[in-house]
Amino acid sequence: MTYIKINFGGNFEDEFQKAVDEIFHLVSPAFKNYECIWRPNIDLYESADEIIVLADMAGLNKDEMHIEVNRNKIKIAGIRKAIQLLQNARYCQAEIPHGYFERNIALPLPVDAQSATASYADGILMVRMSKVPVHKAHRVSVISTK
C-alpha cells in the first residue's frame, strides 16, 4: 500500500532533511538521524515507606527535565538535544534518539506529592516519594450548624 504524506506548514529545511533521512533509512536501516519521540527506560521500586522511580536520562542536564507528581502518578518530560557532530563528519550509524520525551507512570500506591525529591547523577534520575499511610484513619469532627 502506498501512503501519501500531507504536511500543513513546517520549515522546508527540516522537512527536506527528514525526507533525505528517510531515503537513507530505506537504504540502510541502521541510519535513523531524525528527531523522534523517545521513551526513557523507567524502573519503579517500592520500599516500606516510599516509592522510588529511576529513569535513564543519559545526555540531559537537570535543567532539561520537567517532573510533576500527584497522589497517583508521576510525569517525567523534557527534551534531549541532538549531539553536535564535527563539521566534516558523516554518519555511519545513528541510533541515539533525541527530541521531546514524556513518560506518565501510574504509581502502585498513593504518595504524598509534597514529599517528592529528585536527584540526578551519572545519567540516572531518581525520584523518591513518601507513601500515604493506608491504614491511618483520619478523624472527622462533627460541627453543629445551629
Whether this prediction's pTM lies above 0.85 is answered by no
Whether residue 58 is found in the same domain as residue 72: yes
Q: Are residues 50 and 113 in the same domain?
A: yes
Residues 21 and 62 in one domain: no
Instruction: Report the number of distinct structural domains present in the chain.
Output: 2
| Cβ–Cβ < 8 Å for 90, 33 | no
Residue 145: inside a domain, yes or no? no
Q: Are 19 and 52 found together in one domain? A: no
Residue at 59 is within a domain: yes
In a domain, 14, yes or no: yes
> Does any domain span residue 93?
yes
pLDDT of residue 41: 92
67 and 27, same domain (yes or no): no
Q: Is residue 58 part of a domain?
A: yes
Q: What phi and psi, each to the nearest 5 degrees, are found at residue 122? A: 55, 35
Q: Are residues 45 and 30 in the same domain?
A: no
Rounded-to-integer distance, Cα 142 and Cα 46, Å: 36
For residue 87, what are the domain limits?
Answer: 37-130
Confidence at residue 14, expressed as pLDDT on a 0 to 100 scale: 64
Query: pLDDT per residue over 8-40, tens digit each?
Result: 555 666 667 777 766 765 655 555 554 556 789
Alpha helices in the chain (DSSP H): 12-27
Q: Dihedrals φ, ψ of 62, to 5°? A: -60, -25
Using 50 as the pLDDT threshold, list the residues of the chain that sit under it: 34
